[in-house]
Amino acid sequence: MLTLDDINIDELVYLQDKYKAELSLYEFIKQAWAASAIEGGKQFTDGWHIQVICEHLEAIANRQIKNLIINMPPRCAKSSIVSIAFPAWVWANSPNEQFMYCSYASSLALRDSVRCRRLMLSPWYQKRWGNRFKLVGDQNTKGRFDNTQGGYRMTTSTGGSITGEGGNMLIADDPNNTKDGDNSDVKRERTIEWWNHVWSTRLNDKKNDCRVVVQQRYHTRDVTGYITSHDDLKEWTKLILPMEYEVENKTTTIILPSTKGALWCDPREKDGDLLWPERFDAKSVESLKNDLGSEAAIAGQLQQRPSSREGNIIKKAWFQWWKDVQPPQIEFVVQSWDTAFSEKKTSAYSACTTWGVFYDQYYIEHVILLSMWRERVEYVQLREMAKRLYFDYRDTGKVHEPRFKGRPIDLFLIEARASGDPLIKDLQLGGIKAIAVDPAGRGNKIQRLNFVTPLLQGERIWLPARPPAYDHLLPFADSFLENVACYPNLESNDIVDTMSQALMKLKTGMFLLNPRDERPSPVTRKEVKVY
């Protein structure tokens, strides 16, 4: 009969801890840190964000998600988790995984590679998983080391040569150098070119392999910005962790072990709640802000939005939220199009916004966004989408908002350039009264926006909120707001152009007047010729 004397408590605890560490990257990190196998014996400071990052990486390792972006401030343990601990934990379970890492600086990439290898060779790690693989002696350098099970971890810098190499986990840890600054357009474009045509082609199996980007934001055209603006198929999961919580920018993701596939939300509730107060209290955060200096750097690197909270030229506060259960009574609908020719990733987008005019109790005009569509498509697809959205502008192919009844379009505007000219002719032949708009009629893009800015500033432009709580915008409205708030620091300004075009026509057609202007009756207003 087995007695307590026969049980080695220390061995039992060891086996339990080992089992926990194999199952959980978070447990692995805590134990490795305590054993001085990570960060050279520095004390481990826990934080809820560490567990969240670990769970998202576990979802990557388990192929629950394939593409992951993590945006977070500097000095919050991202490299320790992603570049050092993660591959070591994965190899404890699946030593055949092949990692490729890149960073903007070869010195940083090599530093983390050495630390990762040092972790795997530590007595703590070897005691637990040393029997599962060995590092190969003839391929064991700072930049690359292989194991006896077919796995390897190799490192390069952004823009570096990786001819002939491939992997099933491509991880970019700060692919952009934040010190380049906003004026380094050439460097940013070189990085994007390398990402698009070199790095992203290195997956061994595009169907099953994974990509991870972890970085602090600094520009709308950094790697995260490029991926986000081209993620038409919504292939990327985005974990955005600002230093100070912003209620309007609450992060949500899905497919986490702790939520069993349910929606995960940033647990912070109050505006300004800190990401890691155990390490960065309010005083420390202020010190970081002083170190960064500019408002742009703070917004990007700390808050993970490379625009001011209020917006750049276009302020977020200019837009009102429609939170009523019942929609306004729409009196006039205008749909505005900005078109392009091709669906290639390097081409411009085609975009469409639909706006409804309604009146308040004093017969003052207001405008609400009814739908938004934006994609890269070939001309035939563009023509069919234009026909579709003319008859049901609620159906963008992605969002269907039943509160808006689909009132017929009164004014159908298409910018007369690119594919706009043939599109206008094709639609007119099909019985749709498409109206050509000369983009040069009111000057350049900035001048056209300036023409309608008083309307935006007048707090009469509305965006629909999301039921049932109405504390968030509808997805298309939220995307619209983020897009226009970054103007003009965008790859493409198509959404702003459609808005300016629509508001200009409404203003010149007397559907939107300045507050002091004499107003005709709604009936008279409908008779005004706007084209």
Could you report the per-residue pLDDT of 18-50, keeping only the tens digit for each?
999 999 999 999 999 988 888 766 788 999 999
Among 91-95, 171-175, 228-232, which is the least confidently predicted range? 228-232
Identify any residues that bridge with 146 across adjacent strands, giving them in sequence order. 152
Q: How far apart are CA 232 and CA 350, in angstroms?
A: 12
Per-residue pLDDT at 525 = 46
Mean pLDDT of the chain: 84
Last residue of a domain, one of 302, 329, 348: 302
Q: Which residues of 321-356 are buried (b: 16+ CB within 10 A; e: fewer)?
A: bbeeeebbebbbbbbbbbbbbbbeeeebbbbbbbbb
Among 312-316, 366-370, 398-402, which is the least confidently predicted range? 398-402
Last residue of a domain, one of 240, 275, 302: 302
Same domain, residue pair 269 and 122: yes
Q: How far apart are CA 214 and CA 76, in angstroms?
A: 12
Asked whether residue 192 is domain-assigned, the answer is yes
Asked whether residue 480 is domain-assigned, the answer is yes
Q: How far apart are CA 522 and CA 531, in angstroms?
A: 18
Supply 97's token pair. 């995984």
Ramachandran region, residue 418 (left: φ > 0; alpha: ψ -120 to 50; beta: rest)? left
> What pLDDT, in 10s, does the model give residues 44-68?
899 999 999 999 999 999 999 999 9
Tell me the pLDDT band of 521, cut-offs 50, 70 and 90: low
Among 221-230, 382-391, 419-428, which is the least confidently predicted range? 221-230
Same domain, residue pair 410 and 447: yes
Average pLDDT in the 427-450 region? 80
pTM of the model: 0.69
Q: How far apart are CA 481 and CA 478, in angstroms?
A: 5
Q: How far apart are CA 199 and CA 267, in angstroms?
A: 34
Whole-angstrom CA distances from 306 to 10, 29, 89, 192, 220 are 51, 31, 33, 17, 6
Q: Is the pLDDT of residue 531 over 50?
A: no
Q: Is the pLDDT of residue 8 over 70?
A: yes
Q: Is the pLDDT of residue 225 over 60?
A: yes
Same domain, residue pair 248 and 350: no
Q: Which residues of 249-271 are buried (b: 16+ CB within 10 A; e: fewer)?
A: eebebebbeeeeeeebebebeee
Counting residues of the chain whose pLDDT is more than 70, the rounded percentage is 84
Q: How far apart are CA 21 and CA 23, in angstroms?
A: 5
Per-residue pLDDT at 143 = 87
Q: How far apart are CA 484 and CA 353, in angstroms?
A: 12
Among 109-113, 416-420, 432-436, which is the least confidently predicted range? 416-420
Asked whether residue 144 is domain-assigned, the answer is yes
339: CATH: 3.30.420.240
For residue 347, what are the contacts with CB-CB under 8 A and spacing of at least 6? 340, 341, 376
Same domain, residue pair 143 and 229: yes
Among 180-194, 311-325, 448-462, which is the least confidently predicted range? 180-194
Tell me the pLDDT band of 513, cut-offs 50, 70 and 90: low
Asked whether residue 154 is domain-assigned, the answer is yes
Do the beta carbons of residue 143 and residue 155 sit within 8 Å? yes
Average pLDDT in the 273-279 region? 94
Among 234, 241, 237, residue whose Cα is nearest residue 210: 237
Among 120-129, 223-232, 243-252, which is the least confidently predicted range? 223-232
Q: How many domains does the chain have?
A: 2
Per-residue pLDDT at 216 = 92
Asked whether residue 446 is domain-assigned, the answer is yes
Tell how strand 332-338 and strand 98-103 pair up.
Answer: unpaired
Among 177-186, 369-378, 516-525, which is the least confidently predicted range? 516-525
Among 148-162, 179-193, 217-231, 445-459, which is the least confidently predicted range? 179-193
Per-residue pLDDT at 150 = 95
Q: Is the pLDDT of residue 180 over 60?
A: no
Asked whether residue 382 is domain-assigned, the answer is yes
Same domain, residue pair 400 and 427: yes
Same domain, residue pair 279 and 368: no
Asked whether residue 396 is domain-assigned, the answer is yes
Per-residue pLDDT at 523 = 44
Last residue of a domain, one of 302, 334, 352: 302
Same domain, residue pair 204 and 325: no
Same domain, residue pair 288 and 368: no
Interaxial angle between packed helices 48-61 and 86-93, expressed in degrees from 0 to 180 and rounded to the nearest 10: 50
Asked whether residue 146 is domain-assigned, the answer is yes
Supply 232's token pair. 């038409």
Per-residue pLDDT at 309 = 63
Among 210-214, 246-250, 308-312, 387-391, which is the least confidently predicted range? 308-312
Q: Is the pLDDT of residue 515 over 90?
A: no
Average pLDDT in the 226-253 region? 86
173: CATH: 3.40.50
Among 241, 239, 225, 220, residue whose Cα is nearest residue 304: 241
Q: How far apart are CA 516 and CA 520, in angstroms?
A: 12
Q: Which has more pLDDT, 363 or 89?
A: 89
Average pLDDT in the 395-419 region? 74
Domain limits for position 367: 316-526
Among 211-220, 227-236, 466-475, 492-501, which is the least confidently predicted range? 466-475
Q: How far apart are CA 431 and CA 450, in angstroms?
A: 34
Tell me the pLDDT band of 9, cut-offs 50, 70 and 90: confident
Q: How far apart are CA 27 and CA 428, in angstroms?
A: 64
Q: How many helices (H) and strands (E) does the chain have?
A: 17, 17
Q: Which helix (H) or strand (E) holds 389?
A: helix 379-391
For 213, counting Cβ atoms within 10 Å of its Cβ (0-12 exposed, 13-18 middle, 19+ buried), the class is buried
> What pLDDT, in 10s, does the model give residues 473-493?
787 888 888 788 877 766 678
Same domain, residue pair 297 and 325: no
Per-residue pLDDT at 466 = 74
Q: How far apart are CA 246 and CA 249, in angstroms?
A: 5
Same domain, residue pair 56 and 163: yes
Same domain, residue pair 178 and 88: yes
Q: How far apart are CA 255 and CA 258, in angstroms?
A: 9
Supply 448's token pair. 């056209």
Q: Is the pLDDT of residue 417 over 50?
A: yes
Same domain, residue pair 419 and 446: yes
For 316-397, list the strands marked E by DSSP.
319-322, 332-338, 350-359, 365-375
Per-residue pLDDT at 258 = 66
> What pLDDT, in 10s, does the model give residues 341-390?
655 554 678 999 999 999 888 788 899 999 999 888 889 999 999 999 99
Q: How far apart are CA 378 and CA 243, in angstroms?
A: 41
